[in-house]
Amino acid sequence: MTLGTKRIEVVTGANKGIGYGICQQLASNGVKVVLTARDVRRGNEAVDKLKTAGYSDVVFHQLDVTDPVSISSLVDFIKTQFEKLDILVMQLIHILRDSKCYFDSDDCFFLHMLQ
- Tens digits of per-residue pLDDT, 32-49? 999 999 999 999 999 999
Q: Is residue 68 one of the residues assigned to a domain?
A: yes
Q: What is the pLDDT of residues 86-101, one digit of tens each?
A: 988 887 655 555 555 5
Q: Is residue 20 one of the residues assigned to a domain?
A: yes
Let me know: does 32 contact 9? Beta carbons within 8 Å.
yes
Let me know: does 51 contact 33? Beta carbons within 8 Å.
no
Q: Classify residue 85 as exposed, middle or buried by CB count within 10 Å of its CB (0-12, 13-18, 19+).
A: middle
Q: Is residue 2 one of the residues assigned to a domain?
A: no
Q: Which domain holds residue 81?
A: 8-90
User: Considering the chain, what is the average pLDDT of its residues?
Assistant: 81
> How many angstroms separate the CA atoms of 88 and 50, rounded?
19
Based on the structure, what is the number of domains in the chain? 1
Q: Is residue 101 one of the residues assigned to a domain?
A: no
Q: Is residue 1 one of the residues assigned to a domain?
A: no
| In the predicted structure, residue 85 carries a pLDDT above the cut 80 | yes
Q: Is residue 115 one of the residues assigned to a domain?
A: no
Q: Is residue 84 one of the residues assigned to a domain?
A: yes
**CATH code: domain of residue 53:** 3.40.50.720
Give the residue from 64, 73, 66, 63 showing the smallest Cα distance to 102: 66
Considering the chain, what percentage of its residues have pLDDT values greater than 70?
Answer: 76
Q: What is the pLDDT of residues 15-31, one digit of tens each?
A: 999 999 999 999 999 99
Mean pLDDT of 74-84: 92
